[in-house]
Copies of this chain bind each other. A is one copy, B any other.
Amino acid sequence: MSAFENLKAHFQTISNFNHLSAICGWDAASMMPAGGNEARSNAMAELSVHIHKLMTLPQLSDWFAQADQESLQGDNPAVLRELKRQWQQSNLLPEKLVQAKSLAGSKCEHAWRTQRKENDWQGFEKNWAEVVKLSQEEAQIRADATGLSPYDAMLDIYEPGTKTESLNQLFDNVKTWLPELIDQVIDKQSSESFIEPSGQFDTAQQKALGLEVMKLLKFDFNHGRLDESIHPFCGGVPSDVRITTRYDENEFVQSLMGIVHETGHARYEQGLPKTLAGLPAGEARSMGIHESQSLFFEMQVGRSDAFIKHLSAMAGSTFKGHNPELFAFDNFQKLYTRVKKDFIRVDADELTYPAHVILRYEIERDLINGDIKHTDVPELWDSKMQQYLGLSTQGNFTNGCMQDIHWTDGAFGYFPSYTLGAMYAAQFMAAMKKTVDVDAAIASGDLSPIFSWLSENIWSKGSLLTTDELVKSATGETLNAQFFQEHLRNRYL
């Protein structure tokens, strides 16, 4: 076997162990009783150690050196590039630092669950200092190895190729028009009235409705399922994608659109190239592109007039005995496009969401690059929140800088993916509309033309192209925030 073939076989082995990790991880979140946790954690830790061993096998470095000399055809240079990327990512950090960060992160996150509720910044700050310090060390090592700046090296984990320079440009542009647009929309909506769900919405009926919507979105039930968990997610493996939601008996609106969102993630996974299954090149391109698919489903398709017509009709025939005006198209549309300046990112609407992300981006960028101290964060948070959304978080850590889990265990560099995803989604839709009558497809109830475009241009590419190449091949240009702005103006003004 050539070195390249040896590498592929080795990564197939790793992929098999990752499969077990994905399924047992899904089980832990959606099925496992609490008493199973200790033994499961031990088993998962053992598996992580094993996967890490496979990823850092000394032999691999010879194979990569040899494979570089082998003549590779077709997709194989890209396959090798992605193999090498995953291998380098896994071998960059000294094991001691990985363990120290994992320990400090677990400790900080665990305490944060209580401290957040108690608005206890003092307590949190003590644990977090260590997480920030170790993350800065990590970023520096990654920077030294890649020639990137420390924060760019962290970005590279989640968004390969994306750099501070382009994020600054994109987000600075957004900042020039977003606050004003938000004010205009809120002003416009202030005169509108609508009905919010009240009464009881049976969870079995909510589930049936969710499954019906997943069918409309052509989720492949032969290769996946819908279950429940406290924090909704898309897990499993491409041949068996597990999405979850959380039901609230008092309303169905959030869970229903949550299912649309996770179905977007799921169809990307289900649509990845089967010929590259088990290889990094066959995996999703990046966190931002993954989010572009969930947001394409949730925001571009899911909140379109044509789709909201389906949702309102399906919900109306599911929940009998409620006020029928609740399920009127107009009312549904208002429910799903309401804009409000508020503190919490995960509850934010489409229009204010980028403000939450830009705020976090600017803070974590400066923190990781060592330009600010972790103790500066609450004040910076408050001043940016005032600037972007006109809200003060002075003394309010619970709904301020302590609201997210990401920073507690050092996942710096992740936040930009959310807004990159929203921007990619808008750009994909604009490109799709050149050849597909999207609104007609949605209205007809057969959304296949939409999914064919996504499959051909995004899903089937896996990681064969870089993100820039992928976006250019799909839309004719690299990321352009103009499409996102136009989309928001069209929908909300």
Contacts and interface: CB of A to CB of B under 8 A. Distances in A.
A237 B36 contact: yes
A222 interface: yes
Chain A contact patch, size range: 35 or more
**Copies of the chain in the assembly:** 2
Interface string A2-44: 0000000000010011011001100100011111101110110
A240 B16 contact: no
A221 B277 CA distance: 37
A318 B34 CA distance: 29
A239 interface: yes
B20 A20 contact: yes
Contacts of A50: 50
Contacts of A24: 20, 23-24
A224 interface: yes
Interface of A: 13, 16-17, 19-20, 23-24, 27, 31-36, 38-40, 42-43, 45-47, 50, 220-225, 236-240, 277
28 contacts: A16-B42, A16-B43, A16-B46, A17-B43, A19-B40, A19-B43, A20-B47, A24-B24, A27-B27, A31-B31, A32-B240, A33-B221, A33-B225, A33-B240, A34-B222, A35-B220, A35-B222, A35-B223, A35-B239, A36-B223, A36-B237, A36-B239, A36-B240, A38-B239, A39-B238, A39-B239, A39-B240, A50-B50
Given A16-B45, A32-B240, A33-B225, 17 more contacts: A13-B46, A16-B42, A16-B47, A17-B43, A19-B40, A19-B42, A23-B24, A23-B40, A31-B225, A33-B224, A35-B220, A35-B222, A35-B240, A36-B223, A36-B236, A39-B237, A40-B240
